[in-house]
Structure 1
Amino acid sequence: MKKILAILLAGMMTATALVGCGGGDASSKTDNGSKADNGSSDGAAKIEGSIVDDSYFGDEGTDSKPVTLKVWAPDAAVSLVKEQVEAFKKAYPKRKFKEISVVAQGEKDAATNILNDATTAADVFSFPSDQLNKLVDAGVISQVAFKDAVTEANDEGTVKAGTLNGTLYAYPETNDNGYYLVYDKSVVSDEQAQTLEGVLEACKKAGKKFIMNAGDGYYACTFAFTAGVKIDGLEKDGITQKFVKYDEDEAVATLQAFAKLIKDYRGTFQSLDVANIASGFAGGKCGAGIDGSWDTASNQKALGDNFGAAKLPTINVNGTDKQLISIFGYKYIGVNGSSKFPATAQILAHYLAGEECQLQRTEKLGWGPSNKKVQENKAVTGSPVLKAIGEQAKNACIQVNVANTFWDPMANLGNKIIADTCNPSDAAAMKKLLNETISNVRDEG
């Protein structure tokens, strides 16, 4: 990785610090052999909102060195990000931009694709908070060049989750990376939406589907978390998933309750990709589902005035209603450490993560902002979806420091619980499944 604005910042801002998630030298050597400062500061940077002084481009964007960048954005945001990139280019009329392409790339696969070949990956990319460790550990993500401005503008939780060993590595983009219950109000009443039993009964009565992607570990971990099997970061080795203590009998009983309820509503409960929720609403086949803010616009369009949103419901376990526990995190914009235009990539990432762009994504896509000023906007305070996600966030495990081995065992747990062969009354089999899941997450099995 090259030094970032080293001359302009007179040594106050340098290239990426490569620090492994398990510890290590906070001033690791960069590719050119220079020392990278741990935790960059804006120094004397002139920053107004999402705009930094033109001089920070250095020799990038000149006639002799026109800028070529690639940006990865999720499918739903590609069109808007293209518009934002054009606005960015207009904000710096003195600079030469040969091309800034915006390419669709799923956020959950961003880290994997960058690790495959950072030199051909995007210069600027979006990713969820749980991928930060592997990006830093592999040394493929640059530290944030405008730390002070970013820290001041965004809420503390997102800044903290984007920081490792005192270094901020990513520009906060959202504060809403979680899921909630979305439902057709003509099918499910607001009261019925409070319990999973009520939701399923309403959908069955109307001949509609309830959709949850139980075969995806991102959603299936809800079964384990609700049972009390919650994660608590990583062990000291920086690799192995740590779990909080839990009551095994209660955990088994909770998983049995899920299995029985799903079996009782076989045909109504459908384990499908979340993309089927909006299309199901539009086609009149879906009554409710578990979805995220990234699909807000499509779900609202499909349901119109019948659009309903609430935190996840409860499930009754041996006579007690238990709140469903989900996973909740944040989304970030990162800068590829192998970018040939590191200064421009940093400036663009800062712009795309800034107040104006976050507000646009909130208004047009329904995303929840990390920017403190945007959080006070009526587009946020008046959003039933962001309210629902905010309430669910109080009943969630934070999606930070999640082991690579976490997702597949959780997906297997979900698939086993919803399988036709699952016997909800077999406590011994459920206990075995639970123990195998945890063992596999910890990579001991």
Structure 2
Amino acid sequence: MKKILAILLAGMITATALAGCGGGNGGSSSTDSKSDASSGSGSTDASAEKVVDANTVDPELFGDEDNISLKVWAPSQALELVKKQVEDFKAAYPTKTFTNIEVSAMAEAESGTQVLNDASAAADVFGFASDHLNKLVDAKVLSEVAFVNTVSEMNAPETVEAGKIKGTLYAYPETNDNGYYLVYDKTVVSEDKAGKLEDILAACKDAGKKFIFDCGNGYYACTYAFTAGVKIDGLEEDGVTQKFVQYDENEAVKTLQAFSRLMHEYKGTFTSLDVAQIASGFSTGTLGAGVDGSWNTNADQKALGDNFGAAKLPTINVDGTDKQLISLFGYKYIGVNAASKFPASAQILAYYLHGEKCQEQRAEELGWGPSNKNVQGKPVITDNPIQQAIKQQSENACVQVNIAPTFWNPMGNLGNKLIADETDPEDAEYFSKLLKDTVANVRDEG
């Protein structure tokens, strides 16, 4: 095997030997065999990685692997496209024999958990959200990126950095738009009314339509805490406890009261439902607006047609001041399972699926925002109002990395309490206690 192949794949082969059943709890650390390319400490010359272009690599990097069998997990809305991309991948390497590359549906929110449960039974290549990175790396179920210099050059710096742990890149950037935004029916909410939550709710009520915000889901409900000033800033040194920035408790309480006040004032209009109900609500004509994720863009557009409207999240008025809603924003990645029986092939496939061609296809067909710098500059993104809305919202967001597992349920509970019928929006003491309890529960201090 040629020297360059040995250098590039040394980290992968070591990781495979480590992985074992259930995520590699035995064996020695893979850090002993890191290549310069994988650790980022060697040459920054991407050509040394034997990359042919933004989508393919030198076929010799497959090494001795042939009769290749791989599993790929993709979210259901991307399933058919990924199947086509896998066929194109196989065609790009006509000298290799692919016995089978099975593509099946697995939500990015679930894939990491499934790999952690049993890496040996999980997919070789899978998509996941940025907040899963820490636990996957800690469990040693994620291989380091083999083509780190090339990947770093091709993708936006923020997505590359968020894919690193202690300077090592562990995943291939896939998107830079993993967040949520305001979607609305232009016949209900005019563009000049989409900037303020009060105006949106009034317009929906006047039209007899609903407004959906999933209050019980911590992924969305953390917006209430963040807007109140209770923002997160990574994890404490123990790697588990959620770190919060300093905040003004009095201002935070007033902000939570403002949200609760609107929820109660517009009871019957302000509705807490899963985002899966948004596209169907537009289709049936019962919905005027909602807060939805970037991954549902196509479904919402199809439901509304020419009446589709998109904007960053609105403001909320707190004691006479309009405050911008602050959301959670992250990235999506393609990971390589350290337990793969075909580690080189899995890395090369992950590189292909993260490449410029596939990212542009996902942008065109799914509306996903690319991490690839070239695709970011193409009209499919620059002329896309959804991507511009998401970009604007990303500037008003906490980054979705290093999220403690105790974060989600308390934030969902906070949202449920705000909208609950029995909650009195004027009871400041109640909200003060709710705020303190939420922070304590996130920090697992109960």
TM (norm. structure 2) is 0.93
The residue that corresponds to 2:21 in the other structure is none
Q: In the aligned structure 1, how far is the partner of 2:97 from the partner of 2:61?
A: 14
Q: Which amino acid aligns with 1:148?
A: N
Q: In the aligned structure 2, how far is the partner of 1:438 from the partner of 1:377?
A: 42
CA RMSD of aligned residues (A): 1.7
Per-residue deviation, 1:334: 0.3
The secondary structure found in structure 2 opposite 1:186 is: coil
The residue that corresponds to 2:226 in the other structure is 225
1:107-164, Cα deviation, whole Å (9 max, x unpaired): 1111111111111011101011111000001110000000011000001000000011
The residue that corresponds to 2:306 in the other structure is 305
Q: 1:7 to 1:116 in 2, by over 3 A?
A: farther
Q: Residues 261-410 of structure 1: matches in 2 within 5 Å?
A: 261-410=262-411
Matching of residue 46 in structure 1 with residue 51 in structure 2: yes
- Does structure 2 retain, via aligned residues, the 8 Å contact 1:405–1:440? yes
Q: In the aligned structure 1, how far is the partner of 2:422 from the partner of 2:306?
A: 40
Q: Unmatched 5+ residue regions in structure 2?
A: 19-26
Q: In the aligned structure 2, how far is the partner of 1:118 from the partner of 1:376?
A: 37
The secondary structure found in structure 2 opposite 1:160 is: helix
- Does structure 2 retain, via aligned residues, the 8 Å contact 1:49–1:355? yes
Per-residue deviation, 1:47: 2.7
Q: In the aligned structure 1, how far is the partner of 2:365 from the partner of 2:85?
A: 12
The residue that corresponds to 2:93 in the other structure is 92
Q: 1:12 to 1:274 in 2, by over 3 A?
A: closer
Q: In the aligned structure 2, how far is the partner of 1:35 from the partner of 1:44?
A: 17
The secondary structure found in structure 1 opposite 2:10 is: coil
Per-residue deviation, 1:29: 3.1
Q: In the aligned structure 2, how far is the partner of 1:117 from the partner of 1:412?
A: 30
Matching of residue 104 in structure 1 with residue 109 in structure 2: no
The residue that corresponds to 1:441 in the other structure is 442
Q: In the aligned structure 1, how far is the partner of 2:357 from the partner of 2:268?
A: 45
Q: Which amino acid aligns with 2:339?
A: S
Q: 1:319 to 1:34 in 2, by over 3 A?
A: closer
- Does structure 2 retain, via aligned residues, the 8 Å contact 1:171–1:332? yes
Per-residue deviation, 1:46: 3.4
Matching of residue 10 in structure 1 with residue 6 in structure 2: yes
Q: In the aligned structure 2, how far is the partner of 1:54 from the partner of 1:271?
A: 51
Per-residue deviation, 1:348: 0.4
Per-residue deviation, 1:67: 1.0
Per-residue deviation, 1:6: 8.6
- Does structure 2 retain, via aligned residues, the 8 Å contact 1:29–1:35? no
Per-residue deviation, 1:238: 1.5
The secondary structure found in structure 2 opposite 1:14 is: helix
- Does structure 1 retain, via aligned residues, the 8 Å contact 2:9–2:344? no
Q: In the aligned structure 1, how far is the partner of 2:49 from the partner of 2:114?
A: 35
- Does structure 1 retain, via aligned residues, the 8 Å contact 2:5–2:63? no
Q: In the aligned structure 1, how far is the partner of 2:114 from the partner of 2:386?
A: 31
- Does structure 2 retain, via aligned residues, the 8 Å contact 1:47–1:149? no
The residue that corresponds to 1:35 in the other structure is 33
Q: In the aligned structure 2, how far is the partner of 1:59 from the partner of 1:12?
A: 14
TM (norm. structure 1) is 0.93
The secondary structure found in structure 1 opposite 2:194 is: helix
Q: In the aligned structure 1, how far is the partner of 2:58 from the partner of 2:8?
A: 16
Q: In the aligned structure 2, how far is the partner of 1:191 from the partner of 1:49?
A: 41
Per-residue deviation, 1:292: 1.6
Q: 1:405 to 1:139 in 2, by over 3 A?
A: same
Query: Which of 61, 81, 90 is the aligned partner of 1:56?
Result: 61
The secondary structure found in structure 1 opposite 2:339 is: coil
Q: In the aligned structure 2, how far is the partner of 1:136 from the partner of 1:10?
A: 23
Q: 1:10 to 1:337 in 2, by over 3 A?
A: closer
- Does structure 1 retain, via aligned residues, the 8 Å contact 2:177–2:330? yes
- Does structure 2 retain, via aligned residues, the 8 Å contact 1:203–1:210? yes
Q: In the aligned structure 1, how far is the partner of 2:8 from the partner of 2:124?
A: 23
Q: In the aligned structure 2, how far is the partner of 1:147 from the partner of 1:36?
A: 12
The residue that corresponds to 1:413 in the other structure is 414
Q: In the aligned structure 2, how far is the partner of 1:292 from the partner of 1:412?
A: 20
The secondary structure found in structure 1 opposite 2:111 is: helix
- Does structure 1 retain, via aligned residues, the 8 Å contact 2:8–2:147? no
- Does structure 1 retain, via aligned residues, the 8 Å contact 2:4–2:49? no
Q: Unmatched 5+ residue regions in structure 1?
A: 20-27
The secondary structure found in structure 1 opposite 2:7 is: coil
- Does structure 2 retain, via aligned residues, the 8 Å contact 1:229–1:246? yes
Aligned residues between the structures = 428
Per-residue deviation, 1:394: 0.7
Per-residue deviation, 1:34: 6.5
The residue that corresponds to 1:22 in the other structure is none
Q: Which amino acid aligns with 1:382?
A: D
Q: In the aligned structure 2, how far is the partner of 1:94 from the partner of 1:386?
A: 39
